[in-house]
């Protein structure tokens, strides 16, 4: 979903230059698509075209080298044959939003099955699968028109995540980490507490953690809750999104790709 990709782009400059404020320029010259965007596009390609998940994910990542892939995942990209490595890293959740978008008019069970399909090829640890499912579940509920309070209750009860804290509660003590257990609940909170798509992204970056991934998880929930302003989407796509990723976005959203 474009919400994940925009979140990745905005957060990309703050992953290693972390901030604890919502006051920052949304797009700067140094912004870019990182591994979060590449993997999100790959997941959309897999689910739209019924492609082999592991091989397709590998192909996309090999076609986009040097995108800040995590160490174990970078090794997996070159693995032949590819095998899951029991990961519960937050990469499980940052790439999975197309599973929710493509099943937004269908059953939740189908969205969660799609989540498992594209997650288990790498992040087959129960916490990795759970983090991806919780993200998909939250997005799907937002598309059903469920209010933030209802989404918070459903995710907390279903996945056992603590969603009782506010963004302001989380921010002071939050530190960089790359696991689902301490990324997914915080990113979901950033989206559920937002009053706009942009606010969801600013909340996520302001935690001072793995900013591109936090925003790539919060972004598609914010998109489903609020929609994305046309000017924000246009700037992201025109300045930062590679043509092949843009083609997948256009196909998924049923839009014409103009060259």
Amino acid 162: pLDDT? 96
Mean pLDDT of the chain: 97
Q: Within a domain: residue 184? A: yes
**E strand or H helix that includes residue 247:** helix 243-253
Confidence band for 18, pLDDT divided at 50, 70 and 90? very high
Q: Within a domain: residue 259? A: no
Task: Name the DSSP letter for residue 166.
Answer: -
pLDDT per residue over 140-190, tens digit each?
Answer: 999 999 999 999 999 999 999 999 999 999 999 999 999 999 999 999 999
Amino acid 42: pLDDT? 98
Q: Within a domain: residue 171? A: yes
Confidence band for 256, pLDDT divided at 50, 70 and 90? low
What's the rounded mean pLDDT across residues 188-209? 98
Amino acid 120: pLDDT? 98
Domain of residue 14 covers 2-22+30-253
pLDDT per residue over 228-253, tens digit each?
Answer: 999 999 999 999 999 999 999 999 99
| CATH number (domain holding residue 18) | 1.10.4080.10
Q: Within a domain: residue 38? A: yes
Into how many domains does the chain fold? 1
pLDDT per residue over 46-61, tens digit each?
Answer: 999 999 999 999 999 9
- pTM, two decimals, is 0.97
Instruction: Write the CA distances from 30 to 58, 158, 191, integer angstroms.
Output: 26, 39, 24
**Cβ pair 68, 159 in contact under 8 A:** no
Q: Within a domain: residue 48? A: yes
Confidence band for 255, pLDDT divided at 50, 70 and 90? confident
Q: Within a domain: residue 258? A: no
**Cβ pair 114, 102 in contact under 8 A:** yes
Q: Within a domain: residue 14? A: yes
What's the rounded mean pLDDT across residues 110-121? 98
Nearest C-alpha neighbor of 215 from the set 225, 203, 229, 233: 203
Q: Within a domain: residue 163? A: yes
Residue 259, pLDDT > 60, answer no
CA distance 18 to 11: 9
């Amino acid at each position: 979903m474009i919400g994940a990709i925009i979140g990745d782009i905005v957060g990309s400059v703050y992953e290693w230059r972390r901030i604890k404020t919502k006051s920052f320029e949304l797009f700067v010259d140094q912004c870019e698509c990182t591994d979060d965007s590449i993997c999100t596009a790959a997941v959309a390609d897999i689910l739209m075209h019924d492609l082999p998940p592991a091989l397709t994910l590998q192909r996309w990542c090999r076609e986009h080298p040097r995108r800040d892939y995590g160490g174990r995942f970078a090794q997996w990209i070159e693995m032949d044959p590819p095998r899951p490595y029991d990961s519960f890293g937050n990469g499980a959740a940052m790439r999975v939003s197309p599973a929710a978008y493509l099943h937004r008019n269908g059953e939740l069970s189908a969205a969660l099955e799609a989540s498992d399909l594209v997650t288990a090829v790498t992040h087959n640890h129960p916490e990795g699968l759970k983090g991806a499912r919780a993200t998909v579940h939250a997005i799907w509920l937002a598309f059903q028109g469920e209010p933030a309070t209802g989404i918070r209750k459903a995710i907390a009860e279903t996945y056992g995540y603590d969603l009782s804290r506010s963004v302001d509660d989380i921010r002071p003590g939050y530190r960089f980490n790359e696991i689902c257990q301490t990324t997914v609940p915080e990113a979901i909170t950033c989206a559920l507490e937002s009053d706009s798509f942009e606010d969801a992204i600013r909340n996520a970056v302001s935690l001072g953690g793995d900013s591109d991934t936090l925003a790539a998880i919060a972004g598609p929930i914010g998109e489903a809750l609020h929609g994305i302003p046309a000017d924000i989407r246009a700037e992201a796509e025109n300045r930062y999104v590679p043509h092949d990723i843009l083609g997948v976005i256009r196909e998924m959203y049923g839009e014409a790709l103009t060259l």
